[in-house]
Structures are given as structure tokens and as C-alpha cells.
């Protein structure tokens, strides 16, 4: 986990979840060790709620601090 406690991913695939996920959009990840064991990731999706999705739908990204602050402020 990142030092600030917040992790982010970018959505690469959304097949079957087109309403909930937008490709090329940045999402915040919530820690979930059980989900990771099943190759899933818990993200806050378009509904504003957190749900599990296949890990291969996303790529982890490191955001520069100014962008990280702006993304978190916009949430």
C-alpha cells in the first residue's frame, strides 16, 4: 500500500460491467486481502459504492501528489 494509504488503478477492461466501470478512468482501490486471494480488487465504482471486480480489468498507477490530491478532493 502507498504511504498515503490510498491506491489507484486505471480501468482497462469492463466487459460485463459497462454500467459500473468506464475504461481509461481512474478508480480508488480499497484494501481487501480476501479479494486479492481470489484475483479480485475492491474499487469504488460509478455508483460511489465499493465492489469486487476481476484484477485483470485494471492496472495499478502511481499518481503525482498534486493529481492525487485533486482526485481525492473530487471524490
Domains of the chain are: 7-74 (2.30.30)
**pTM for the whole structure:** 0.86
pLDDT digits (tens, 9 = 90+) for 28-42: 999 999 999 999 999
The pLDDT value recorded for residue 42 is 98
The pLDDT value recorded for residue 62 is 95
Q: Average pLDDT for residues 16-28, to the nearest whole number?
A: 95
SS3 57: helix
User: In the structure, what pLDDT confidence band is assigned to residue 4 with cuts at 50, 70 and 90?
Assistant: low
- Spell out the alpha helix ranges (H) of the chain: 33-37, 65-74
Q: Average pLDDT for residues 14-35, to the nearest whole number?
A: 95
Q: What is the CA radius of gyration of the chain?
A: 12
Amino acid at each position: 500500500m502507498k504511504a498515503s494509504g490510498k491506491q489507484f488503478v486505471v480501468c482497462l477492461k469492463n466487459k460485463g460491467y459497462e454500467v459500473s466501470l468506464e475504461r481509461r478512468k481512474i478508480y480508488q482501490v480499497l484494501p481487501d486481502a480476501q479479494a486479492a486471494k481470489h484475483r479480485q480488487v475492491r474499487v469504488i465504482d460509478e455508483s460511489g459504492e465499493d465492489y469486487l471486480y476481476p484484477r485483470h480489468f485494471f492496472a495499478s498507477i502511481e499518481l503525482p501528489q498534486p493529481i492525487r490530491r485533486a482526485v481525492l478532493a473530487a471524490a
